[in-house]
Amino acid sequence: MDINDMTKPWGLEVDRVELVFGSSLNTEEAPQAPLIMPPSLPGLEGLPGPLQQLALQFLSQNLPQNKPECSLTVMDELRTPPSPQSPPSPQLPPSPQSPPSPRSVQELLGAVKLLLSESLVNRVQACFQFHISSENHQQQSYFVDLRQGSGTAGPGAAPDPDVTLSVSDSDLLSLFEGTLRPFSAFSSGRLRVQGDVKTAMKLEELIQLLRK
């Protein structure tokens, strides 16, 4: 049991100990043989001689015989070996930056004019009138007419618009930046619509084109 207490941490369990005497020695006739101590191995220092002999016998049976010298290495299994360093990844060229978002209603109107086309008119087929309020309670009117030709846009009132949209200047910029969706603005009351709501939602075509 005492031996087991010391060998179990090695993964060894001793279930039997045999003492075999080949012949009885007479201490008066035969000199006492010297006590043979096993060579010291790393990791076994401090153990009694019999336990070192037991460990050496176990190691001699499990290590290759063609090696003249054997050693015992104590490893820390809890510490993971350092992983080889991977070569640095190649640097990719910087992606082209998107144009800055309009910071005012006038800049937004200029950006919209650049996007007017017959293709956009064919997809939308509607005229939008905007009544825009600012923080100092000033009112401004703009229109985007996408009913014929390549479309037109500018300040003022459009003749016979399909829908009239009332919104603040900050929310209008958020709509065209994509941070505020038209339906969400309408549902929350930040966008007031006079006319067909389904037609007003066609404004999403122009918003998506502006974001590209």
Q: Where are the beta strands (DSSP E) in 69-171?
A: 126-133, 139-146, 152-155, 163-168
In 3D space, the residue among 151, 127, 126, 131 whose CA is nearest the CA of residue 142 turns out to be: 131
The pLDDT confidence band at residue 81, using thresholds 50, 70 and 90, is low
Nearest Cα residue to 212 out of 75, 83, 104, 120: 120
Q: Give me the torsion for CA of 48, 53, 56, 61, rounded to 10°.
A: -150
Tell me: pLDDT of 55 over 60.
yes
Cα(198)–Cα(102) distance, integer angstroms = 26
pLDDT at 166: 92
- Tally of CB atoms within 10 A around 68: 5
Task: Look up the pTM and report it.
Answer: 0.49
Distance of alpha carbon 160 from alpha carbon 162, whole angstroms: 7
Closest CA to 56 of 67, 68, 44: 44
Q: What is the pLDDT of residues 111-123, one digit of tens each?
A: 888 889 999 999 9
